[in-house]
Amino acid sequence: MTTQTPAPAAQAGLSERYQPLIGGRFASPTTETFAAINPATGAHLADITRGSQADITDAVAAAKSAFPGWAATPVEQRSAMLVELARVIDANIDRLALIDALDIGRRVSETTIDHARAADQYRFFAAAAVTHAGWNRSIAGGIAIAKREPIGVVGQIIPWNVPAIMAAFKMAPALAAGNTVVLKPDENASLSTLELGKYISEIFPPGVVNIVPGLGEEAGAALTAHPDVQKLAFTGSTEVGRLIAHAGADRLVPVSLELGGKSPNIVFPDVTDVDAIVDNAAFAVAHCNGQSCLAGTRLFVHDDIYDTFMPKLVAGFERIVVGSPLDPTTVVSCLVSSEQGERVLDYIDIGKKEGADLLAGGDRIDVPGNEFGHFVRPALFATENSARIAQEEIFGPVLSVIRWNDYDTMIAEANGIRYGLAAGLYTNDIANAMKTADALEAGSVWINGYFNMIDGSPFGGYKDSGFGSEYCAETLNMYTHLKSVTLLNEPVAPFFLP
């Protein structure tokens, strides 16, 4: 296997020390730091300020001070700044992608796509905001108006798996709608977001965007509890999402949550290009090293094609190249941390102990020059829908294949999960495709192509996968109040007082 030694931090242009972006400046009253470590090699990349309650207090104060001016800024000017940020990302995409590959261990070809998609999001909401409005109608003697107004200071917390996309999903609509932001990146993936902050500080007015790295139980908890934060937005685990929801309920502020998933991916017997579907089903579970809430981790294969499909799927899994994040031949690279690596391996052991049939992969391997990392061959199990590996979110490259022959039973099992984020299906029958899409309890259903996210199409979940839609024009509604104004041409005639 060909490998490539990861580039040092200097090659990516990293700073030795990163501080929060607060009020347009990189400064902090906090002196304590934590290390950014390359998960593949164990190399020390940089020191990052461990954001404290004092940092959050300063950041929220800066955002609150900047809000009136930003909200009053014409939408065309706000949009122009978002477009400029997208342009800067495009101009620096190779460097930003390398930083993420070093920081989170994903292959650089994937992280490049992440930043391209992030730039697209800033452009999309720059355009969407210009046409985002309420409504008006004539009434007897006047007019009724519904106005969209920004909420205020928005607290946002993002995860480590796709930091570029997550930052864009949160910041683009919030800023386009006229809010100011305090963003906390995950402690396992702060570098590219803080580098993005350098560009932001040159484009946006001070205080409009504030970025505070730190631990969830410290900076994250302080942000969710701060009385001047008027909206909370979170992407991460369902368990933490509940805590965020409780924090919002305590202060009666709106909350949007994008949480976990255990998505079904269904193969119908009428498909013809089995090889293409095998490839897409493998991609659905192994993209992002399986560390995705969207991953198609439960594959339902019909009896009639099972014996044809499965040998091809096993052979496909065995061809997956596991290697360095910087090797262009790599398909799956290392997991984000030793903790995550051990979690995935533990679930693979659980599957074996429960009697699931391990058909391919499932072992940790050494990659020369990257011995520190947890590199796990994608695991392929034949199992039942009731198995723990088919019910619990693993967040790693583990696929549970479930054989089916009765449509109603299959739909019940596909929906028989606590999550409802995404689903996929493969069929040549359009009527069956739409019938099944309607029957699936999932926020996104992809037909004949998993992960087929299109700018402007809603992204959000049902059940324990959260609530609120991102990635679409409607997202702007989550970041605005709807105010009613009724205007009469002249005072109404007296009718109450004698």
- Residues with catalytic annotation? 258, 293
> Residue 425: how many CA atoms within 13 Å on its side-chain side?
25
Looking only at Cα atoms, what is the longest distance across the chain? 93
How far is residue 239 from each of residues 272, 308, 458, measured CA to CA in Å?
A: 41, 40, 23
Number of Cβ within 10 Å of residue 284's Cβ equals 24
| Rounded distance between C-alpha atoms, residue 359 and residue 261, angstroms | 23
| Rounded distance between C-alpha atoms, residue 9 and residue 192, angstroms | 12
| Rounded distance between C-alpha atoms, residue 381 and residue 228, angstroms | 49
As to burial, measured by CB atoms within 10 angstroms (0-12 exposed, 13-18 middle, 19+ buried), residue 251 is middle
**In this structure, are strands 264-267 and 422-426 parallel, antiparallel, or unpaired?**
parallel
Where is 280: in which H helix or E strand? helix 274-286
The answer to whether the CB of 487 falls within 8 A of the CB of 278 is no
How many angstroms from the chain centroid is the CA of residue 92? 21
Residue 57's closest CA among 17, 99, 96, 22? 22
H helices of 177-237, in order, are 191-203, 221-225
Buried b (16+ CB within 10 A) or exposed e, 85-109: bbebbeebbeebbbbbbbbbbbbbe
SS3 per-residue string spanning 439-471: HCCCCEEEECCCCCCCCCCCECCEECCEECCEC
